[in-house]
Amino acid sequence: MEFELSENHRQILELLKWLAKEKLRPLGLEYDKKEEPIPPDHPFFKEIKAMGIGIGVMGGDDGGEKTEAESRLKSMLGDKQNPMLATLSILAAEILAWGDQGVFMSFPGPGLASPPIRIMATPEQKKIFYDSFKGDEPKWGAFALTEPGAGSDVARIRTTARKEGKYYILNGEKMYITNGARAEWVVVFATVDPKLGRAGHRAFLVRKGTPGFKVSRIEKKMGLHASETAGLLFEDCKVEEEFLLGGEEYYKSKEGFKGAMETFNMTRPAVAAMAIGIARAAYEYTRDYFAENYMLNAVSPFASRVRAELERMKRKLDIARLVCVRAAYLMDMKKPNAKEASQAKAFAPPIALDVVSKCVELLGEEGTLEYHHIVNKAYRDIKIFDIFEGTGQAQRIVISKRLFASKGKPTEWTETT
């Protein structure tokens, strides 16, 4: 793997380190205490919009006009052929999650809607979608796949899409949708016939305010309080046929489900890197606390144990990061990465949970008595990372299918099914 980043890319990461420390960390602690999402009209969002920073914009070919800040950031990223953009995104995700993952997830921009748009949408659809994010006002995109009865097994989605003339009529419920209530556009997966399984899947671009589309609730969560998580309802929601992602021809070769899975191949390594970022924040606090308050070079059973635990944490986080970078590197090289993406997602979050749990154990009262302590907060924030974007169990199924994809014989086949 190629590890060397360009000077421009290193400058971007330095900017994000400053942003994570000076802006995300304080905001995250503030809204953790409030136990509510950062409101969409918060001045912070306009500030980062003016900086050209947002979710789903790095390395994207949106084809639209850009602000001066966005153009400057784009020029720093390099041309479209630069082979390090996915790797850069992984490193950026870790840094911003180190600051605060809830705030990071709240960044304005196309968000999780962007990968399926890039993979599946027609040029006309891309223009309509990305043009809506122009201007100075922060706007959000969202991705709606999960349902009450379809989480890890996305083939079981039951939101229906019925064709009537030049419209599709959507009916169903989606849940756990990041930025779902504030999103300008939501990419919604539905089925034209549940009996068809994956072959019946379709993806639609649904705009905020479309009749029959409404927000059912804002979830109350254990952690990631700064981030908005919504439930969405579709009741005879009329969507113009031109907002069927990719058009009718796209689905004649069963591409709908493949489009969703390719989206996960892009996002799972990033989610794994975010877990590393949260764990690294807890680890660094614990390391610094003991360095300042104890003589760790002393010859004592306690000092020996703390040194050993801190070394183990650092080693495991470094290994987990490399697994994430490998999945991103394959994407940069335009090579299949489904197995590696799932390996990153299956491996890194449990490692991160173990590290944060050990930090709480070592710190004792320092890490547990104050509810909004950075380590206590990390403990509440980290658990979801083994669940969303596909549970660890689901990732192990994906990995094993690719290990034994041909009549039970081991193989290195990694193409998305």
Query: Which residues form the catalytic set?
Result: 389
Strand ranges (E), 138-182: 140-144, 160-164, 167-178
- Tell me how far apart the alpha carbons of residues 87 and 110 are, in angstroms, rounded to a whole number: 20
N- to C-terminal Cα distance for the chain? 26
Q: How many residues does the chain have?
A: 417
Residue 168 three-state SS:
strand
Q: Which residue has the tokens 């006309």?
A: 124
What is the phi/psi pair of residue 238, to 5°?
Answer: -90, 115
CA–centroid distance for 82 within its chain = 22
Q: Report the alpha-carbon angle 175-391-371, nearest 5.
A: 75
Residue 61 three-state SS:
coil
Helix ranges (H only) for 78-182 are 85-105, 114-120, 123-131
**Cα dihedral across residues 338, 267, 175, 130: positive or negative:** negative
| Contact indicator for 189, 145 with CB cutoff of 8 Å | yes
User: What tokens appear for 230 in the block?
Assistant: 């919504």
Please name which of 34, 179, 20, 156 lies closest in space to residue 109, comparing C-alpha atoms.
179
| Contact indicator for 347, 367 with CB cutoff of 8 Å | no
User: What tokens appear for 330 in the block?
Assistant: 């394959």
| Contact indicator for 44, 31 with CB cutoff of 8 Å | no
Please name which of 177, 182, 176, 208 lies closest in space to residue 38, comparing C-alpha atoms.
182
